[in-house]
Every structure is written in structure tokens, then in C-alpha cells.
Amino acid sequence: MDSTLNAADPSALDPSRAGWTPGREGPTAHGSLYGGLSFWHETVGDLAPRAALDGDTQADVAIVGGGLTGLWTAWYLLERDPTLRIVVLEKEIAGFGASGRNGGWCSALFPRSTASLEKAHGRDAALAMRRAMIETVDEVGRMSKLIPCDYAKGGTIAYARSRVQERAARAEIVEAQRYGVDDLGWRGADAVHAAGALGAAFDRNCARIHPAKLVRGLAAALESRGVRVLEQTEVLRVDPGVVTTTRGLVRADKIVVATEGYTATLPQSHRRILPLYSLMIATEPLPDTFWDAIGIPHGATFTDYRHLLIYGQRTADNRFAFGGRGARYHWGSAIQPQYDRSPRVFEHLRRALVDLFPSAAEAAVTHRWGGPLGVPRDWHAAVTYDSATRIGRAGGYVGDGLSTTNLAGRTLADLLTDADTQLTRLPWVGHHSPSWEPEPLRFLGANAGMLAMTAADLEERVTRRPSVIAKVMGPLVGH
């Protein structure tokens, strides 16, 4: 996105109105239309596509998807065996999808709660998963010394702005303590500065990141180690030992499928993952005095306890990067560039930001973007490897992927090299989620769920009691 564009001009920000098709016609930022994907892409540097596959080839490991899951898998595979011939296949450019467009939270959050994991897998397994996620935040921090990505571990401030939300926050803290996690604590109203906040839960296990710097830097680092990162190469199908693309066949002993929200575009896995859109805005840079007044230091991320999720961070250059759910699911799990932009949702996000921080009312919104994340039917992220077909998969992060992808990459590297480790014994390894329903049930259910979360927030505001709707929906969304 060209920073000289007028944010008040919808056609300047909406690719569907501007005739924008990724990687297909004239340049914008950095010599590539990919600069228009998000604020992160605009500010990451060169986005010119790498070379595509130029005919049939062979590899030890073929990785489908140039996002963080695939790239981390390649990185840790090389740590285990530097002689491996690895090919990464990407339809657009590395970091095109959620890996390059997300909210920049490297957190210890897992799509299913610890309590839910305990019910499904037992207490020891649930605790192991939680510890692994916490350790992953620091692992990404260690990697950020090699791949600069504005990593700053400032924690997450989760505001409680009603008595119902305060009870939910305090219950979350008590639950964390029950699992032996003492990194979650309460801050009183005098220590937080969001409008109407009665206090906030503070979780130390989260870092702010510039996601496009991480994913693009990781791709470049892999190339320097001999990995072939092939862009502009669309995968048509995956079979044992062979990946079929529009530009030739890749024969490989082992294959990893790491397509997250775009999994639905492959006919073989159309109902495995539901692509759900999350949208974001970014403001102009704001002075340090502004941030001091609202109590958000560098490295901090923030949210609150509403049911229709919001998330934000203070960027390295002092902007709000703020996002949330609310965009509808599209029939047939369709993914189109125009779905990245929804004026209704962008306006909802601007109002939500100003509602939290009224002093941000005059801040210009300079960037608007979005993209699909991947949602499994039971909201349970998973890593799998079939030793018979020699095909591995990972995904279903439901927006919690910036750290979870790293854990997935390390786990897949262990599985593909036949290592028996603590990671390969985690409860998400080998989990198989049920398929999503066929249409129209998928369309009706997904959008009804979104409406239910909106209704749950309204219910709590009116009744001042925990939402009955949210309680009914809880088991369906990982709680």
C-alpha cells in the first residue's frame, strides 16, 4: 500500500474497486503489488516475487505453503539434518497469507483453552501443551536475534470494562494459578487507562512482532542455507511422493502441507479448514506522550473481555495496529481479494478503538487490510504425520498462529526425522478434527456463530450478567 494514498478514498484502499489482483499487474510499493496487502507488507522492504518452479524436480522434503508453518518446518529440519534438499512451494509470495498480515501477537495462547484440553486429553497433557506454548514465545524471541522483526516481550493487557468482564478476568487468573501458571495477574483500575476499565488481567507471555519482517526474513535466511523457496507456483494436488503444480511436478520422499486458511482451496481438503476473515486498521504514528497517557509501553499488546474478539498492539513506530472479528464467512469457503476489505468492519474497528481510547479519536487511519485465518471444526489446532503416506500437516490456529507455527515447525521436524521427543508427545500431535459440514449448513452455522458472539456482548451489556449465549457457544469455540 502506497503511504501517499488518501485513506478517505475507498478505491485507494479497496483492491476490488481498484482492479487489484495480487502479483498480476503493474507495480506499487517496492516494485510489487504485494505492498498493498497490509501495513506490514508496505513496511517490510523488497516484495518482488522469487523465481517460480521451472519444470519437474526432486527433493527430500516438499513443503506446500510459504507461510510461517512451512518456513519454520524447513528451518528446524535443517537444524536436524543440514544435508536435506528442501523445496518450499508458494502460490504468491512467502508471507502472503495470515503469516504476513496478522495482529503481531506472539503469545502463549492456544485455540483450545487449557481446561478444554484437560477434559479431552488429561491434566498432564494439558499442562505440557501450556508449558510448550509459553516456551515457544521465548524461542521466537531467540530467533528474532537472527531475524530482526521488532520483537519486544511486553505482555498482554486484557481490559475488564464491566463487572461481568471483571469476573471473567479474575476467573481466568484463578484458572491459570490452578495450572501452576503464575504469569497472569490482576492490575487495578488505577494502573490501567482504557475508558471505563475496572482493571485488567496482565499476561507476561506475549511479545509484539512485525509479522511480515519475521516471515520474509525467515524465507531469506532459508534461501541462504540452500532451501529453494519457489514463489508464483500454485499447487493443484498432493499425493504420496508427488506434489502437482501448475509449473511441474515435485517428487519428494516426504511432504508437508502448511496452507492454513487456504487449505479450503485444495479440492482434497476443501472441508478440512474453514477460512474466516479477520480485518485490521493502523493509525498514523502517535507521540510518546500519547502512549504514556494511556499506559501502553513498547512491546505491549492489548484486548478486552468482549466475546467478538478485538486485538491490538503499539507498533515499533508508535502506531495502533488494531483488529478484530466481525467479517462474515463466504459461501463455499471462497477466498477472494475483495473480501480483505469491508468498510462496515473497518468502521466498527475504528469505533471500537476510540471507545477504548477516546484520545485516539483524531488519529488518522492510514491502513486497512484483512485476510483469512484457518478454523478447524472443533477449534483444535493439530500437527499430524502419516508414516505410510509420508505426508505431514499442521494448522487450525484460529488466529493464534504467530507463535503456534513455530511450535508446529519444531514438532513436524521431529516427526519427519522419526524423533521421539516431548514435542511429539504433546496432545495436539495426531489430533484429527471432524470435517466442516457441506453447504448450506457450513454457511449458516459459521455466520450464525458470528452473530451469536455479537448478541452475547449485547446480552451482557443489557443484563449485566454472564451471557447465556456465550455459555452455549463455549464448547463450540474451544472453551
pLDDT digits over 50-96, tens only?
999 999 999 999 999 999 999 999 999 999 999 999 999 999 999 99
Confidence of residue 454 (pLDDT cuts 50, 70, 90): confident
**Average pLDDT for residues 416-435, to the nearest whole number?**
97
CA distance 140 to 153: 10
pLDDT surpassing 60 at residue 25: no
pLDDT surpassing 50 at residue 8: no
Give the percent of the chain with pLDDT over 70: 92
Do residues 58 and 28 lie in contact, with contact meaning Cβ atoms separated by under 8 Å?
Answer: no
Per-residue cell: 303: 484486548
pTM: 0.92
Between 477 and 81, whose confidence is greater?
81
CA distance 146 to 218: 9
Which of the listed ranges 20-29, 55-64, 182-191 does the model predict with the highest average pLDDT?
Answer: 55-64
**Average pLDDT for residues 320-329, to the nearest whole number?**
92
CA distance 19 to 405: 33
Confidence of residue 467 (pLDDT cuts 50, 70, 90): confident
Q: Using DSSP bridges, classify how beta strands 382-386 and 365-375 pair: parallel, antiparallel or unpaired.
A: unpaired
The confidence score (pLDDT) of residue 32 equals: 64
The confidence score (pLDDT) of residue 188 equals: 96
CA distance 247 to 232: 9
Residue 323: Cβ-neighbour burial (10 angstroms; 0-12, 13-18, 19+): buried
Do residues 48 and 31 lie in contact, with contact meaning Cβ atoms separated by under 8 Å?
Answer: yes
Per-residue cell: 152: 519486544
Residue 387: Cβ-neighbour burial (10 angstroms; 0-12, 13-18, 19+): exposed
Residue 64 neighbours by CB under 8 Å, 6+ apart: 70, 89, 235, 238, 243, 255, 256, 257, 258, 259
Complete DSSP assignment for 399-424: T-HHHHHHHHHHHHHHHHTT---TGG
End-to-end CA distance of the chain: 37
Q: Using DSSP bridges, classify how beta strands 274-283 and 248-257 pair: parallel, antiparallel or unpaired.
A: unpaired
The confidence score (pLDDT) of residue 457 equals: 84
**Which stretch of 169-178, 351-360, 407-416 has the lowest confidence by average pLDDT?**
169-178
**358 residue type, one letter:** P
**Average pLDDT for residues 12-17, to the nearest whole number?**
33
CA distance 169 to 304: 9
**Average pLDDT for residues 338-366, to the nearest whole number?**
97
CA distance 356 to 342: 21
CA distance 357 to 373: 27
pLDDT digits (tens, 9 = 90+) for 47-62: 999 999 999 999 999 9
pLDDT surpassing 50 at residue 22: no
**Average pLDDT for residues 458-478, to the nearest whole number?**
81
pLDDT surpassing 50 at residue 14: no
The number of CA neighbours under 13 Å toward the Cβ of 21 is 3
Q: What is the mean pLDDT of the chain?
A: 91
The confidence score (pLDDT) of residue 5 equals: 28
Per-residue cell: 356: 477504548
**Average pLDDT for residues 371-400, to the nearest whole number?**
97
Residue 198 neighbours by CB under 8 Å, 6+ apart: 160, 161, 162, 163, 165, 166, 189
CA 348 to chain centre: 20
CA distance 31 to 466: 51
Do residues 58 and 83 lie in contact, with contact meaning Cβ atoms separated by under 8 Å?
Answer: no
**Average pLDDT for residues 92-121, to the nearest whole number?**
96
Per 3-state DSSP, the chain is made up of helix, strand and coil in percentages (nearest 5) of 40, 20, 40
Q: Give the residue extent of every domain in the chain.
A: 440-479
**Average pLDDT for residues 339-345, to the nearest whole number?**
95
pLDDT surpassing 90 at residue 23: no
The confidence score (pLDDT) of residue 476 equals: 63
pLDDT surpassing 90 at residue 319: yes
pLDDT surpassing 50 at residue 350: yes
pLDDT surpassing 50 at residue 17: no
**Average pLDDT for residues 235-253, to the nearest whole number?**
98
Residue 452 neighbours by CB under 8 Å, 6+ apart: 469, 470, 472, 473
